[in-house]
Amino acid sequence: MKRKSQVFMWKRCPKKYEYHWVLNIPEAEAIEPHFGKMFHYDAKTFFETVDVQKLMMCESSKQAYDYFITLQKTFHPVVSKWLDNFFRFEAGRWEALRQIASNPLRWWMPVATELELLAPKRDMEMHIDRIDRLSDNNLINIEYKTEKRFGLSELRHEGAFYNIGINASQKFSERCTLFGCYNPQLDRHFSEPMTVRLTNFINRLLLQFDNAVKLGDFPPRPSYFCRYCSYAQRCLDAGVFDESFVA
């Protein structure tokens, strides 16, 4: 079960969840997710191909950036801009860590990237974009997002979901105590600590989702996102909303 995909699709719109996961109606293909997959692959390859000796010679963000761009593999006009933002961000991190850390590599290199993770006891299957080490030796889960929006509430809920799953998987001896996000398209990022309130919210969400699935209760939830939904015509035909709603 792709727990994350199912839960958050249901959270946004139970009817879309029913179309996709219950009735198995395929979604229309979109080009944007393809760009996102390209960025994910390039970000993973970037960390795998960094020459540690060359990186240690970089004393400033400019020197690090000049080195990073030599590692670029994709030159697509859209993804190249995202990678440029990403390289500048990572170069800034390197300079900051070099100034304050005795071993900057320990904090700069991710603990894991593009990790498939299972937490059987919580019935959770996740794809983790990236996990970094914190100064207290605990971990932070970082999601890459390439959309044109930066909804903090939604990102908090998703980050908390992943942290619960990572800790439940018992793959790491350290705890994942923070979550974060980096958007290369908007060149924005944030990080926050996991809270009891967020943990309780996600646990309630999982319980509500399980109950809805057992009952087969999937009422439509019209929202701003309906205009971008590949199933919008089905809801129009069913009278869930009219054309003026999605115009």
CB atoms within 10 A of CB 155: 19
Query: pTM (2 decimals)?
Result: 0.88
Distance CA 240, CA 219 (A): 10
In this structure, the strands spanning 188-193 and 124-133 are unpaired
- For the chain, the average pLDDT equals 92
Where do the structural domains in the chain lie, given as residue ranges?
1-25+111-236
Buried b (16+ CB within 10 A) or exposed e, 188-210: eeeebebeeebeeebeebbeebe
221 close to 13: Cβ distance less than 8 angstroms: yes
Residue numbers in the chain where pLDDT is lower than 70: 1-2, 29, 246-247
pLDDT value, residue 1: 47
